[in-house]
Amino acid sequence: MKQRAQFRGFHPEAFRFFRRLARNNHKPWMDRNRTIYHQHVAGALKGLFEELVPVVLALDPDFEISGKTGRNFSRINRDIRFARDKSPYRRHLYLYFGPYGNTGLDTRLYVGLAADGVTCGFATYNGRHSVLARLLKPRRASNPQPLERFVRRLSRKYEMYWYATERGAWTQHPGAPRSEKDWKRCRAWVVRKRFPSERRQLRSAGFTQEVAKIFRELFPLYAFSAIEGRAGEQALKQAGRR
């Protein structure tokens, strides 16, 4: 029987791994440090995943929970076939939960691990069949007030930024899109909290509870953005009554 991974917090070695990777982004170095990667980076995120599965299923039983790379975990390896940057490894790793069956997982609740610390929040990205284009933008356009009120609530506690493309390049803007023009230009939107690597809270198994709290607070936004039907349409209104 496969032993269930346990989350005991993020060890300082996890952040050190990414700092060193930035200076040694090549396969020989990764091969020498693969044990550290599996124990303190990928292993820690897998343990956190196991702890969070009951939390996210209580929010929505249709979350993806296969635990597979590409479904709940990002890849450390970069696709360098057509990239100018030929460094083979990414400088961050993500754990995320999105709609089951959404192969793009373009809208998600996530935890990100990198050299400078941990981020946790909500992200939505535009794509050919993305829910940002198909659900979030039309719902906001038909009735913008619930989203605007919810964003004001979140802005007291969370960092936000969004992206547009300008002359073929992604450009970051602070906050949430505001005008109709902003929303038409929006290609991604992130709402998150940052935890610097030196934060002692990260080293404890109790950090799971902080992530769970963030996921619960952001779930109405996720539901409005990604869940089909009345449950998604009414998510922000119902959150406003609590």
Return per-residue pLDDT of the chain as tens, 242 residues. Answer: 456 778 999 999 999 999 999 999 999 999 999 999 999 999 999 999 999 999 999 999 999 999 999 999 999 999 888 788 899 999 999 999 999 877 667 899 999 999 999 999 999 998 767 899 999 999 999 999 999 999 999 999 999 999 999 888 899 999 999 999 999 999 999 999 999 999 999 999 999 999 999 999 999 999 999 999 999 999 998 887 66
Q: What is the pLDDT of residue 85?
A: 86
Distance between CA atoms of residues 75 and 95, nearest Å: 10
- Confidence at residue 101, expressed as pLDDT on a 0 to 100 scale: 77
Rounded Cα distance, 147 and 157, in Å: 16
Residue/partner pairs of 177-180 with CB below 8 Å, 24 or more apart = 180/141
3-state class (DSSP) for residue 86: coil
SS3 228: coil
Closest by alpha carbon to 220, among 137, 147, 148?
147
Residue 128 contacts by C-beta under 8 Å, 6 or more apart in sequence?
none
Helix (H, G, I), strand (E, B) or coil at 111: strand
What's residue 184's pLDDT?
A: 93
Token digits for 113? 């691990």
Looking at the chain, list the stretches that DSSP marks H as alpha helix, in order from N- to C-terminal side: 12-23, 27-32, 34-36, 43-59, 131, 137-142, 145-155, 180-185, 207-226, 229-233, 235-240
What pLDDT was estimated at residue 105?
A: 72
The C-alpha atoms of residue 12 and residue 65 are separated, in whole angstroms, by 27
Pairing relation of β-strands 169-174 and 117-125? unpaired
26/8 Cα distance (integer angstroms): 29
Q: What residue type is assigned to position 94 of the chain?
A: Y
Q: At a CB cut-off of 8 Å and minimum separation 6, what does 173 contact?
A: 161, 162, 163, 164, 182
Q: What is the pLDDT of residue 168?
A: 83
Q: Do the Cβ atoms of 37 and 30 come closer than 8 Å?
A: yes
pLDDT for residue 242: 67
What's the sign of the alpha-carbon dihedral 196, 176, 184, 167? negative
> Is the CB of residue 90 less than 8 Å from the CB of residue 46?
no
